[in-house]
């Protein structure tokens, strides 16, 4: 298998960086789901230990997951199979 080199952190987008919504859809929790994709140690470790960017990403994902749990929104996880 091909190894992934260590990755360099970058500034995460802030609220002012997110484009304005172009549709007028209302958020409907009963029709929503959260997908947490490829957050296992294998992929996260490519950012190095104690990476502030990944610590913020993980905190953001945890906050979204907690919100979903509080509002009965299903959460789904994906992971690569072990080789």
* Per-residue pLDDT band at 2 (split at 50, 70, 90): low
Which residues does the annotation mark as catalytic? 38
Query: What is the reported pLDDT for 4?
Result: 75
Q: Please say if the pLDDT value at position 81 is more than 90.
A: no
The whole-model pTM stands at 0.81
Query: What is the reported pLDDT for 83?
Result: 67
Closest CA to 75 of 14, 15, 34: 34
* Per-residue pLDDT band at 11 (split at 50, 70, 90): very high
| Cα within 13 Å of Cα(75), Cβ side | 14
What is the tens place of the pLDDT at every residue in 15-58?
A: 899 898 889 888 899 999 999 998 888 888 889 889 999 999 99
Q: Are 58 and 12 in contact (CB under 8 A)?
A: no
H-state helical runs in the chain: 41-44, 52-70
């Amino acid at each position: 298998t091909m190894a992934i080199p260590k990755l360099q952190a970058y500034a995460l987008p802030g609220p002012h960086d997110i484009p304005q919504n172009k549709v007028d859809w209302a958020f409907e929790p009963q029709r929503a789901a959260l997908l947490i994709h490829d957050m296992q140690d294998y992929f996260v470790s490519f950012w190095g230990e104690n990476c502030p960017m990944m610590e913020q990403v993980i905190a953001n994902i945890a906050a979204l997951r907690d919100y979903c749990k509080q509002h009965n929104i299903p959460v789904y996880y994906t992971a690569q199979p072990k080789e």
